[in-house]
Amino acid sequence: MAANELNDLIPMSEWLPGLKKPLIIGGPCSAESPEQLMQTAKEIKALGQVDIFRAGIWKPRTFPNNFEGVGSIGLEWLREVKKETGMPVATEVGSVKHVFEAIKYGVDLIWIGARTTANPFAMQEIAEALQGVDIPVLVKNPLSPDLELWDGGINRIYAAGIRKLGAIHRGFSTWGKSDLRNTPHWQVPIELKRIHPNLPIIGDPSHICGNRTMIAEIAQRAMDFNLDGLMIESHCNPDAAWSDAKQQVTPARLGEILSGLKMKSESTSDEKFIRTLDELRSQIDMYDDQLLNILEARMKIAEKIGLHKKDNNVSILQSARWSDIINKMIAKGNGKGLSDKFISEIFQSIHEESINHQINVTRDI
């Protein structure tokens, strides 16, 4: 089934009383005790900058002996937090049971985690459990940078009748060493926003970073990309946290991060700015047209090469030649301020298209 357009989503400002852009969700990775939860909530409430208090009740962990959350008893603690502080509360759900339990205890917003989003069977079961329920639901991106998988999960929740619907960008798993726990791949949430302009997307700097030192930087980057809010993990004693201690900040530090954000306007009435921007965009459009014309000409040459190879009984793919091209282009790209990754990816795409053209032009001859 094709993706829905999500045209009739309810604006984020109408999900719960007092919500605005940017939506700020804060609280500990995990609920550990009623005392820990209440203390953290009171300190966060005192900031006056956080809209919704979050805490993990069920924690999907890689290994079974790790702390997997306190379970449903934590929902009673969340309910007390809501009663004591007046803050709406949120938690993650990963099963039908979690959905029913969260609703029973009056949770105001739920989100679906990355591992669950990656499982269409689990997403469908959760979607069916949400039918007829009026509650905001956020869907985290899957572990891999798979836009269709993310969009498919969102569409399953939408098809269940949920119109208070949004997404969470928490980064994507990567192999090898990195300063970040999960690679942002900002182009993925940007493309999701292009497909669904009315879908709110919340940034999750805590999971992107995996460390508290870079959260402010990544939070600002999310705002620079015009995301609709932030979810940042905050604990009254982060170093003693039972899960993800390194990526949690104190409520005081959370307040500093939020106060330091520089919000960018989506538009301006400054005529000089608009005029200059239009001129620069016109130049970009001109170069984009030139790129398409060059690519068209290149593919026509590739077709001639394909025919020439066929006439001389030479295989289409010649790996040594391709390796030489990539190495040469990366070296040239370095001198033009272009990254190795960008050059490699763009020429890989060009090469694949060239091969396809050679195959197509020789197929029926």
Rounded mean pLDDT, 254-260:
98
**Amino acid (one-letter) located at 129:** A
The CATH class for the domain spanning 12-259 reads alpha beta
- Residue 165's nearest CA partner among 200, 140, 194, 193 is 200
CB-based contact 339:333 (threshold 8 Å): yes
Helix (H, G, I), strand (E, B) or coil at 90: strand
pTM value is 0.80
Domain ranges in the chain are 12-259, 271-362
User: What distance in Å separates the CA atoms of residue 228 and residue 168, rounded to the nearest whole number?
Assistant: 10
CB-based contact 247:207 (threshold 8 Å): yes
Tell me if 12-259 shares its fold with 271-362.
no
Instruction: Output the CA torsion 191→196→202→204 (10° steps).
Output: -30
CATH code for the structural domain at 271-362: 1.20.59.10
Predicted pLDDT at 174: 83
Predicted pLDDT at 1: 42
- Residue 113's nearest CA partner among 242, 245, 231, 235 is 231
pLDDT-derived band at 110 (thresholds 50, 70, 90) equals: very high
Mean pLDDT for the chain overall: 92
DSSP state of 13: G
Give me 365's structure tokens: 């001859």
Tell me phi and psi for residue 145, to 5 degrees: -75, 65
pLDDT-derived band at 87 (thresholds 50, 70, 90) equals: very high
Instruction: Please check the confidence at residue 72 and state whether its pLDDT lies above 90.
Output: yes
Sort residue 263 into left (φ over 0), alpha (ψ -120 to 50) or beta. beta
- Residue 251's nearest CA partner among 233, 275, 273, 229 is 233
Q: Greater confidence, 260 or 347?
A: 260
